[in-house]
Amino acid sequence: MPEIFNDYARYYDLLYKDKDYVVEASYVDGLIKKYHSQAKSILNLGCGTGRHDSYFQEMGYSVCGVDLSEMMLIEARKRAIPGKLEFFNGDARSIDLHQKFDVVMALFHVMSYQTAGDDVLAVLETAKRHLAPGGVFIFDFWHGQGVLNDPPVVRVKRLEDETIKVIRIAEPDHLESQHVVKVNYQILICDKNSRRWNELCETHSMRYFFLHELERYLLKAGFSSKEASEWMSHKPLSLNWYGLIVAGRQNIIRGRE
């Protein structure tokens, strides 16, 4: 997986230049204010090139981003502000920053990259390890009902900037019995100066979840769900591809011995 994301970093921001990070960050900020109005610090697992994080920092949060790809972090660190916005190389399944945060988040389908149950639980343990008392864990995911209702198809995306052109062809291989979609990418990159083309081929394995599965994982890891809704809305999960969970630590009340 690290090698995949190192290549991905070369054209990541171009491919997602139409993604409205400002609106998404504002939406997540609203969730934070709803469920933890006094929150001041954020840990972002799978931060990519740090674009969400820069907006959270502008909103007044102290932010740490973690990503598996050092190449992604080269771009992210251009946005870094010591003490306010920092980035660390690490695996969301195992990293320990020895700090506590009011909010831990994993956006842009980081949880869906965890195709094995043990990996899902490992990310939840990382979130729990870093949460301060009263903190919340916010993450999005591919929603099973949405994927089954609107099965993945071949998609082509063409983009360019001042220096390169990118053509990305995505061919899905749907392993329905495993709740996994293997997205096989062919990426053609043209350097505008030399007019030379390069080709990259990648496979991203993505797991989709049904709510009952996630609730079972959350319970096992010591979390309880505060909200399960469609991404970018507060509507109940339905046939939308993308879902969102806001979770908090379970309160354990011990009886008399």
Quick one: 133 and 183 in the same domain?
no
Domain-terminating residue out of 175, 191, 207: 207
- Bridge partners, residue 59, by sequence: none
pLDDT of residue 121: 98
pLDDT in tens, 21-50: 999 999 999 999 999 999 999 999 999 999
Rounded to 5, what percent of the chain is helix, strand, coil? Answer: 30, 35, 30
Q: What is the number of domains present in the chain?
A: 2
Report the share of the chain in percent with pLDDT over 90. Answer: 74
242 occurs within a structural domain: yes
Stated pTM of the model? 0.90
| Residue 256: pLDDT over 80 | no
Q: Using 50, 70 and 90 to split pLDDT, how confident is the model at 13? A: confident
Which of 239, 244, 243 has its CA nearest to residue 149?
239
- From start to end of 144-237, where are the E strands? 155-160, 164-175, 180-191, 197-209, 223-230
Quick one: 53 and 154 in the same domain?
no
Query: Would you state the structure tokens that stand for residue 6, as one six-digit string?
Result: 């190192």
Quick one: 171 and 241 in the same domain?
no
CATH code, domain with 192: 2.20.25.110
| Residue 12: pLDDT over 90 | no
Q: Domain range for residue 172?
A: 146-207
Q: Are strands 131-143 and 101-106 parallel, antiparallel or unpaired?
A: parallel
Dihedral pair phi/psi, residue 53, rounded to 5°? -65, -35
Q: Using 50, 70 and 90 to split pLDDT, how confident is the model at 3? A: very low
Q: How many CB atoms lie within 10 A of CB 213?
A: 16
